[in-house]
Amino acid sequence: MPLQNQKVVILGGTSGIGLATAQAALAQGATVVVSSSRQDRVTAAVAELGSRADGQVADLTDAASITQLFARIGAFDHLVYTAGDSLLLGELASTDMSAVRKAFEIRMFGAMAAVKAATPHIRQGGSITLTSGIASARPQKGWTVGASICGAMEGFMRALAVELAPTRVNIVSPGFVRTPLWANIPQAEREAMFRQVGAQLPTGRVGEADDIAQTYLYLMSNAFASGQTIIIDGGGVLV
């Protein structure tokens, strides 16, 4: 088990891809710490994950809260950042700029603050794995904000891979995945979207959180992977 006796910290690890990654890391012998801004989500996630999991509450929009989080956690091996609010969809002309700034706050600036606070605590041989999305490579109409965030995150990752070496830094770029991030779309519309998109993909379906979690495991365990954007989208950028 490649993560045996290693400690993995997952910010955004109480639901969706983050929770699936926590479950996969535990199966590979790791201990995990998951974090969310809400105590109820942390409590529920730890109860589901079991005795080798710990949970911490932290506000990823507050640098002081993030610094305190990593002071409590102490030394660890791998940081995974999957935190993010529901997707902000819509054409730029009708998008409120305060909503744009809020979207960047968690996904981009929260990641920057987390990396800054976490880096002194990452053990030798450790890694950082961030999250973007295929909107950076193939945006659709109404994805202006999401595409901008994903592109910024990928540039951030490449700079970090140089700046923080030999700590490895990579990013996972998922395509359409069935997670709570789509919860702002009514259920019937959401399921119809998943069916329609899945039928167009070479894999014949949209992704599940477990599919994406395997990519985080790969990047944590492969000691020669750094500076890489790994797309896992069912072939979506091809069609």
> What domains are defined for the chain?
7-180+209-231 (3.40.50.720)
Point out the residues of the chain with pLDDT beneath 50.
none
Q: Mention every residue, 6+ apart, whose C-beta is less than 8 A from residue 22.
A: 8, 10, 13, 32, 34, 45, 49, 53
- Unique residue bearing structure tokens 């699936």: 20
Looking at residue 119, the DSSP 8-state letter turns out to be G
pLDDT of residue 175: 93
pLDDT of residue 197: 93
pLDDT of residue 88: 80
Pick left, alpha or beta for residue 17 (phi over 0 → left; psi -120 to 50 → alpha; otherwise beta).
alpha
In the numeric block, which tokens belong to residue 155? 């540039």
Cβ atoms of residues 11 and 83 within 8 Å: yes
For the chain, the residue count is: 239
Looking at residue 108, the DSSP 8-state letter turns out to be I
Looking at residue 185, the DSSP 8-state letter turns out to be S
Alpha helices in the chain (DSSP H): 16-27, 39-49, 63-73, 97-104, 110-118, 144-163, 187-200, 209-221
Side-chain-side CA neighbours of 106 within 13 Å: the count stands at: 18
Cβ atoms of residues 88 and 104 within 8 Å: no
In the numeric block, which tokens belong to residue 126? 């450790």
Q: What's the first-to-final CA gap in the chain, in angstroms?
A: 36
Q: Give the three-state DSSP class for 89.
A: coil
